[in-house]
Structure 1
């Protein structure tokens, strides 16, 4: 089964994975014809916690809305940072709840799949029950790096760890990409 990967980076790890139909900026995911479950990574800078510092293109917010429509139509998973305002904008459910389409939200930390920073993330999943997702790793303790300059732990204490590079912040760890593709396959509608 083929999985469509929408809004991928030009240098995306998904391009190295079998069974992925990857749509980056050059292919333009707005032209994707549908027909397969999706892994959607729409731009998040207009939706994230630091959106007031971002300078997104005028159409960027609509890319995330389109990604939600594709997940709802074809099944799959949409990935965005924890705290994304896309959830309120599109009526996406809080963890432990379902939306009118049957979709649900799974909070993860990308460090569980090898990211050097915790990178708290939320996944909107539709077409697969929570008990049917692929096995997930669980890694306890602090990640070796932080994203952003705050360097604060969840408990508010200062963490003296290096900051990731911009490229590291944007790349999906290869094991997470493999896991997301497997999840999307299980979400086929």
Structure 2
């Protein structure tokens, strides 16, 4: 994306120098509902805690699957709960509304932006054509691919960047 300085595995996100709000989607397989079947790489689970420290220091948004065990491990407020001591709060969204073929329930932890200041969350009518994994709600829908489970729809990525930009503006106002 234009204007985004992405730090991934190749650039080693742990070497990011900081200084501005973050959009973080650390590896989630060690934190998700099926974590007992996951085979995370060495140090991968700790990346979520690193990302969380960066967001608490510089502001921004952390994206993870709904019900991620990171919320309990790091004492993050669950969607609809209180703000934490860092001013962080959480919201639940479904990536379907940004163009994903499945609901892809997602939790966001945000520091530096008030809920009322979020960009509009789109509403997409209809139902998903696919599911992340078959459930009672979607027993007959085809499952999305592994790549689709890991990737973010471009419209959602743009929305997350807008949230981080709002966090930067609020941080600038607070510093002035």
| Same fold at TM > 0.5 | yes
**1:61-100 equivalence runs, <5 A:** 61-96=45-80, 97-100=82-85
Q: Alignment partner for residue 34 of structure 2, among 50, 59, 69?
A: 50
Residues 1:171 and 2:151 are matched in the alignment = yes
Q: Secondary structure at the match of 2:7?
A: strand
- Is the Cα contact below 8 Å between 1:151 and 1:161 reproduced in 2? no
**1:36-47 equivalence runs, <5 A:** 36-47=20-31
**Displacement over 4 Å in runs of 4+:** none
Q: Secondary structure at the match of 2:122?
A: coil
| Structure 2: 5+ residue stretches without partners | 172-176
- TM-score, length basis structure 1: 0.86
Structure 1 or 2: more strand by fraction: 1
Q: 1:63 to 1:38 in 2, by over 3 A?
A: same
User: Which 10-residue stretch deviates more, 46-55 or 132-141?
Assistant: 132-141
Q: Between Structure 1 and Structure 2, how many residues are aligned?
A: 168
Structure 1 or 2: more helix by fraction: 2
**Aligned-pair CA distance for 1:159:** 3.2
Tell me what 1:159 maps to. Answer: 139
